[in-house]
Amino acid sequence: MNAVPTGGDRQPAPEALTRITLRPIANPLPLGFLALAGGTLLLSGLQLGWVEPAESHTLGLIIIAFVVPLQFLTAIFGFLARDVVAGTGMAILSGTWLSIGLVTFTAAPGSTSDALGMLLILSASAMLVSASAATGKLVAAAVLTTTALRFLVTALYQLTGSDTWKVSAGVVGLALCAWPSIPRSRWHSRRATGARCCRFCAAIPAPSRSRQNSAASSGTSTTRQACGRSFNGTSRSGATAATSAILNLVSGITRFWQAGHLYCRDWLMLLSGSC
């Protein structure tokens, strides 16, 4: 151990100082949400009849190969980023989707499993715990709460074998699948002095204060090239961001309605006993 000099104005030796280097990690939640959308869309397709029961084995393999690794990777980087909500929530989702994929792959087409239903009830409770811990993360909390509802309804179908709960689980799954397309403008956090060229690009660091001053004095703006388009380094106003969020919401609701209105009608007919 190197001793740090204490007398006079002498500076400590560089090797005597403790240095902590942090590697910046991007927000992993968009990857996990997209994997969640893929998994719930596949399962909804099976529950609503879009996918033939004979293809349930193939669907189980797709869930294992696509959804599980991406959500497991999201959980790892969530813990590395010291994000408890992302790490815990995505780890539970990874294990749950692995269980769903294995049961779907090994079970007979169209069959149900009481064991899987009990696990889904536990996973739904875990999603609610993670959602309650998402303080200040409204989008993540909403997605996790909808996921809890999706697991709960699917658990009721697995435990009862009722076609009503089966169709209901498929409809809730479609609603959950629509979530990642709605809040995508909020996925990338922007620095107070930075901006993005588009909602799919990472935040571009803002120029230094000296460069900003020089640009202001010369009457020119700093322009960068990103995604093949010119980008002006000024942040968008709050009104523009609010308008974009509203348009995304309306677009997501419209796409969901166009894809699922027929199955919503069948679901209501089953509940009313008219068919």
What is the reported pLDDT for 25?
A: 82
Per-residue pLDDT at 219:
43
182-202 pLDDT per residue, tens: 544 444 444 333 444 333 333
DSSP state letter for 195: B
pLDDT tens string 210-221: 444 444 444 444
Residue 81 pLDDT level (bands cut at 50, 70, 90): confident
**Higher model confidence: residue 206 or residue 251?**
251
Give the pLDDT of residue 135: 73
What would the pLDDT profile of 127-171 be if each residue is shown by its tens digit? 999 888 877 778 888 889 999 999 999 999 999 999 999 999 999
Percent of the chain surpassing pLDDT 70: 58
Listed residue (6, 28, 3, 25) closest to 16, CA to CA = 3
For 211-260, the pLDDT digits (tens) are 444 444 444 444 344 334 433 444 445 556 656 666 666 666 666 555 55
Residue 126: pLDDT over 80 = yes
Handedness of CA 91, 92, 95, 96 (dihedral sign): negative
- Structural domain contains residue 256: no
pLDDT of residue 138: 82
Does residue 226 lie in a domain region?
no
The answer to whether position 212 is within a domain reads no
Q: Is residue 18 part of a domain?
A: no
Q: Phi, psi (5° rounding) for residue 187?
A: -65, -45
The CB-based long-range contact list for 232-237 (8 Å cut-off, 24+ gap) reads: 232/195, 233/194, 233/195, 233/204, 233/206, 233/207, 234/195, 235/190, 235/192, 235/193, 235/194, 235/195, 236/195
Inside any domain, residue 122: yes
Residue 84 confidence (pLDDT) above 90: no
Supply the pLDDT for residue 148: 95
Comparing 84 with 258, the larger pLDDT belongs to 84
The answer to the question of residue 4 being in a domain is no
Q: DSSP for 235-247?
A: PPPHHHHHHHHHH
User: Of 74, 70, 99, nearest to 86 (Cα)?
Assistant: 74
Any domain includes 181: yes
**Structural domain boundaries, residue 125:** 29-189+261-272
> pLDDT for 27-53, tens place per residue?
888 899 999 999 999 999 999 999 999
Number of domains in the chain: 1
Assess if residue 15 is contained within a domain. no
In this structure, are residues 88 and 104 in contact, taking their beta carbons and an 8 Å threshold? no
* Mean pLDDT for the chain overall: 74
**Residue 182: CATH number of its domain:** 1.25.40
